[in-house]
Amino acid sequence: MDRRDFLKTAGGTLLAGTSCAYAFRFLTSAGWASADIPSSGKKWGMIVDLTKCREGCTACMDACRHENNVAHFGDERWDIHWIKKVKVESQVGHKTMEKNVMLLCNHCDNPPCAQVCPVQATYKRDDGIVIIDHHRCIGCRYCMIACPYNARQFNFRDNEEWPNKDRPKRSHGVAESCTLCAHRLDVSRMPACVEACEQVGAGALLVGDINDPDSNISKIVTTGAVKRIREDLGTEPKVYYIGL
């Protein structure tokens, strides 16, 4: 075999090998990230009872920030909020209605953020939680463009605060959003925001398994007394609101 033949053979083999690898990736691309994890059969969802949410209370936001080391610089442009409280005003006839609404990642069944992620860093876990692999995210911010709920944020700055040493320190250059405290749910603990809301005695937040017909969340959802934000978009959010 002369050099030319060797290069041809080597090049051909490399091309064929790469093609096979990519073909395999094509065929298994849907949900490949969690392909090896056995199904838990669970589907986590959240209920936000706006009738119980207290005026001026920020317990859930504070707990989330502390639990997940969420960056806070005191500047609304770059501050990150995995969960945030907003005041919404609507006009009903002559009356102006005001409500406090908690906004967070809706952990959609059809998450637009995961669809547009060019590196599959954002993916939906088998239990329905939409999560970001921060070791793979390239920081393109296309998920922020795609998310209709403005639930995605980006670490534009380095965050020096690191209150919870059990959780990773946030680094700049990657996208962020609520993980529904997956690390807690995985060890049968409630998310930090839910726990904090319980502790202040409001109990406005509830997380549970929608697939379990006996769970509290299932019973409330099936009454039909709940609403989801922008259901018309077909994203199938799993955060349900009472009193929206």
Partner 1 sequence: MKFDSIKGDSAQYRMLMIVFAAMAVAGVGSTWWAIEKGLWVTGMYNRVPWGLQIVMAVYYIGLSAGSLVISGLYGVFGKQEYKPFARIAVYVATLFLIAGLLSILTDQGRMDRVFVEPFVYFNLQSMFSINPILYIGHILICIVYLWALFYEKKTLTKVIATLAFGWAFCVHTGTGAIFGFGARVLYESPLLPAAFVAAAMASGTALMIVLIVGLFRFTKRHLDDELIVWLGRFLAICVIVVLYFLFVENAYRAYVVELRPAAIYYLFGGFHSVLFWIGLILVGLVTPLLILFRKTTGQSVPWIVFASCLVIFGILCERYVIVLPGLTHGSEIFPGMHITQSVVEEGIASYDISYVEVLQALGVFGVVAFMFGWGLKYLKLLPSEARVLHSSSTSDSAGNKT
Q: Which is nearer to partner 1, 185 or 239 (CB)?
A: 239
| Distance from C-alpha of 121 to C-alpha of 136, rounded to nearest angstrom | 5
Q: Which is nearer to partner 1, 157 or 167 (CB)?
A: 157
Q: How far is the CB of 216 from partner 1 (least distance, A)?
A: 26
Q: Which is nearer to partner 1, 25 or 219 (CB)?
A: 25
The bridge status of strand 95-104 relative to strand 83-92 is: antiparallel
| Distance from C-alpha of 86 to C-alpha of 61, rounded to nearest angstrom | 12
| Residues of the shown chain interacting with partner 1 in the complex, contacts defined by CB under 8 A | 25-26, 29, 61, 76-81, 84-90, 98, 101, 103, 112, 115-121, 136-142, 144-150, 153-158, 172-175, 229-230, 233
Q: How far is the CB of 203 from partner 1 (least distance, A)?
A: 22
- Name residue 44's beta-bridge partners: 209
Classified as helix, coil or strand, 9 is helix
The bridge status of strand 205-209 relative to strand 95-104 is: unpaired
Q: Which is nearer to partner 1, 145 or 225 (CB)?
A: 145
| Distance from C-alpha of 44 to C-alpha of 3, rounded to nearest angstrom | 59
Q: Which is nearer to partner 1, 156 or 167 (CB)?
A: 156
Q: How far is the CB of 84 from partner 1 (least distance, A)?
A: 5
Q: How far is the CB of 232 from partner 1 (least distance, A)?
A: 8
| Residue 79 neighbours by CB distance under 10 Å | 16
- Name residue 96's beta-bridge partners: 91
| Distance from C-alpha of 170 to C-alpha of 155, rounded to nearest angstrom | 8
Task: With CA atoms as reference, report the closest residue to 121 among 173, 68, 66.
Answer: 173
Q: Which is nearer to partner 1, 91 or 188 (CB)?
A: 91
| Distance from C-alpha of 176 to C-alpha of 102, rounded to nearest angstrom | 17
Q: How far is the CB of 82 from partner 1 (least distance, A)?
A: 12
Q: How far is the CB of 100 from partner 1 (least distance, A)?
A: 9
Q: How far is the CB of 2 from partner 1 (least distance, A)?
A: 25
Classified as helix, coil or strand, 191 is coil
Q: Which is nearer to partner 1, 57 or 101 (CB)?
A: 101
The bridge status of strand 44-49 relative to strand 239-242 is: parallel
